[in-house]
């Protein structure tokens, strides 16, 4: 079953939706306009029910098939939020909101799922119920968890859940997926080093926190190189220093260090948390200071279920003829929270040779729309076939 003809017919319309969303990006949970557009369109399509305010600004649409003998309920999820980036694409439909940009393609994800919802509402050629899920705050806000905490899965009896993300560098419209751990857990850490401030010309009268922090950066790299099993994936990155001094001749009393940890297993996550604390406190003590470590567990590892991944790949092959094995991704994805609650799968669709996501020159490739919409529709029609 190739790309559906209906999505070729709707391509220009869905593209217009996507570009409108691109012009009006909204960050985190502040997806007020976006959620309103989504809810209005779902009602226009004739969804059986449209519910707003799930997970603060999330939207849920209910579409019932011609039959409901199977009792199956499948969730399809798209993210709606943008990033705090100034756009540099020069597009006619570039962001009109300073400091906000759809630099990850969530405008495309939302538009594709809306296109699938329109088609499914028109045809209803399936046996069961589809729950279309439009989520805010994927970019660091944990909107997926907030929607789950708001009763998303239990309220509508969702049994399986599927997600999709565009992927620059992957051939346009081609799919890739992998079972098991796929996207990494994305923890963060804050370390406050405290010593004794002083004049930069008299370092012997101070306890230098900059030396402590600099030494800690080097030592933290040994977690991956000397503590972790080489076959396990682990990234420890220090990303920022802040001090209570911004002048040339003062040794600061305090230095705050920020960083992130990426792992693909609970064992590596535990190891990183333990060693970061031990190393930072040990380094600080060596120089006569102290270190207060705050390790924050953020998004968990996103794990694709075996059966649902095999099915999602089969559907992808039915749409485009092939589905590649995706690489492990050390970036995070809060669809992980939904996959902790229900079995399901997350797939990548190629965005072609474009700037990478989170880049100010990135843009979602509208030529991927018919392929993505067809995959969503086929997930429903093949998983819940009508008699």
Same domain, 140 and 13: yes
pLDDT at position 246 is 83
Q: Which of 273, 299, 325 is the C-terminal boundary of a domain?
A: 299
When pLDDT is cut at 50, 70 and 90, the band that residue 242 belongs to is: very high
Q: By three-state DSSP, how is residue 352 classified? A: strand
- Note the pLDDT of residue 154: 98
**Tens-digit pLDDT profile for residues 162-197:** 999 999 999 999 999 999 999 999 999 999 999 999
| 268 in the same domain as 157 | no
Per the CB < 8 A criterion, the answer to whether 127 and 66 are in contact is yes
Predicted confidence (pLDDT) per residue in 63-109, tens digit: 999 999 999 999 999 999 999 999 999 999 999 999 999 999 999 99
Q: Identify whether residues 306 and 276 lie together within a single domain.
A: no
Please report the beta strands in 195-301, taking only residues with DSSP state E, as ranges in sequence order: 198-199, 234-243, 250-251, 254-263, 290-299
Q: Are residues 12 and 137 in the same domain?
A: yes
* CATH number of the CATH domain containing 337: 3.40.630.10
State which of 278, 299, 320 marks the end of a domain: 299
| pLDDT at residue 328, as a whole number | 96
**DSSP string for 135-152:** ES--SSS-HHHHHHHTTH
- What SS3 state is found at 253? coil
Do 191 and 176 lie in a common domain? no
**Domain of 336?**
5-182+301-383
Instruction: In whole angstroms, give the CA distance from residue 80 to residue 109.
Output: 8
Using only C-alpha atoms, the chain has a radius of gyration, in whole angstroms, of 24
Q: Which residues contact 380 (CB under 8 A, 6 or more apart)?
A: 74, 76, 116, 120, 126, 128, 130
Q: How far apart are CA 325 and CA 223, in angstroms?
A: 29
- Report residue 255 CA to chain centroid gap: 31
Query: Angle CA(209)–CA(213)–CA(214) in degrees, nearest 5?
Result: 115
Count: domains in the chain: 2
**pTM as predicted:** 0.95
Mean of pLDDT values over 265-280: 97
| Residue 305, both tokens | 């279920």
In the chain, the N- to C-terminal Cα span, in Å, equals: 18
Q: Given this model, what pLDDT does residue 2 score?
A: 80
Tell me: do 69 and 142 sit in the same domain.
yes
Average pLDDT over residues 356-362: 98
- What the block records as the tokens of 228 is 């972790």
Pairing between β-strand 290-299 and β-strand 185-194 as defined by DSSP bridges: antiparallel
Measured distance CA(174)–CA(348) in Å, rounded: 8
112 pLDDT more than 70: yes
Mean pLDDT for the chain overall: 97
Single out the residue in 248, 267, 299 at which a domain terminates: 299
pLDDT band at 3 (very low <50, low <70, confident <90, very high): confident
165 and 27 in a common domain? yes
Q: Is the pLDDT of residue 1 over 80?
A: no
Q: Left if phi > 0, otherwise alpha if psi is -120 to 50, otherwise beta: which for 142?
A: left
Q: Name the band, by pLDDT with cuts 50, 70 and 90, for residue 387.
A: confident
Q: Any idea what the CATH number is for the domain that residue 294 is in?
A: 3.30.70.360
Residues 6+ apart with CB under 8 A from 64: 48, 124, 129, 130
Query: Is there a single domain that holds both residue 19 and residue 156?
Result: yes
* 280 shares its domain with 320: no
Please compute the mean of the pLDDT values over residues 109-117 and round it to a whole number: 98
Tokens of 349: 């669709």
pLDDT, residue 245, reads: 84
Give me the phi and psi of 324, to 5 degrees please. -85, 165
Same domain assignment for residues 317 and 273: no
In a shared domain, residues 51 and 157:
yes
| Co-location of 21 and 134 in the same domain | yes
Residue 226 pLDDT greater than 60, yes or no = yes
């Amino acid at each position: 079953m190739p790309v559906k003809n209906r999505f070729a017919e709707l391509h220009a319309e869905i593209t217009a939706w996507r570009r409108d969303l691109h012009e009006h990006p909204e960050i985190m949970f502040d997806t007020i306009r976006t959620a309103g557009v989504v809810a209005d369109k779902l009602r226009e399509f004739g969804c059986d029910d449209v519910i707003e305010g799930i997970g603060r600004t999330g939207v849920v649409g209910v579409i019932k098939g011609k039959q409901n003998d199977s009792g199956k309920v499948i969730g399809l999820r798209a993210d709606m939020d943008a990033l705090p980036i100034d756009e540099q694409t020069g597009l006619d439909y570039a962001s009109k909101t300073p400091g906000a940009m759809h630099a990850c393609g969530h405008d495309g994800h939302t538009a594709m799922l809306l296109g699938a919802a329109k088609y499914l509402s028109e045809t209803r050629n399936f046996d069961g119920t589809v729950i279309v899920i439009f989520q805010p705050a994927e970019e660091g806000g944990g909107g997926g968890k907030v929607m789950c905490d708001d009763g998303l899965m239990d309220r509508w009896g969702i049994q399986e859940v599927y997600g999709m993300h565009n992927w620059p560098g992957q051939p346009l419209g081609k799919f890739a997926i992998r079972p098991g751990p796929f996207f990494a857990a994305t923890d963060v850490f804050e370390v406050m080093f405290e010593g004794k401030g002083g004049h930069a010309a008299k370092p012997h009268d101070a306890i230098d926190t900059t030396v402590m922090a600099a030494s800690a950066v080097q030592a933290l790299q040994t977690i991956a190189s000397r503590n972790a099993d080489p076959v396990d994936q682990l990234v420890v990155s220090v990303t920022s220093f802040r001090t209570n001094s911004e002048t040339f001749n003062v040794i600061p009393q305090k230095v705050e260090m920020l960083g992130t940890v990426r792992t693909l297993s609970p064992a590596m996550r535990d190891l990183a948390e333990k060693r970061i604390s031990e190393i930072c406190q040990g380094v600080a003590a060596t120089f006569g200071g102290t270190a207060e470590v705050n390790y924050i567990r953020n998004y968990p590892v996103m794990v694709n279920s075996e059966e649902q991944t095999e099915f999602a790949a089969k559907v992808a092959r039915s749409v485009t003829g092939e589905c590649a094995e995706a690489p492990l991704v050390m970036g995070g994805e809060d669809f992980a929270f939904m996959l902790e609650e229900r079995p399901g799968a997350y797939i990548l669709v190629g965005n072609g040779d474009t700037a990478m996501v989170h880049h100010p020159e990135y843009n979602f490739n509208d030529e991927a729309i018919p392929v993505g919409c067809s995959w969503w529709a086929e997930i429903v029609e093949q998983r819940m076939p009508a008699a």
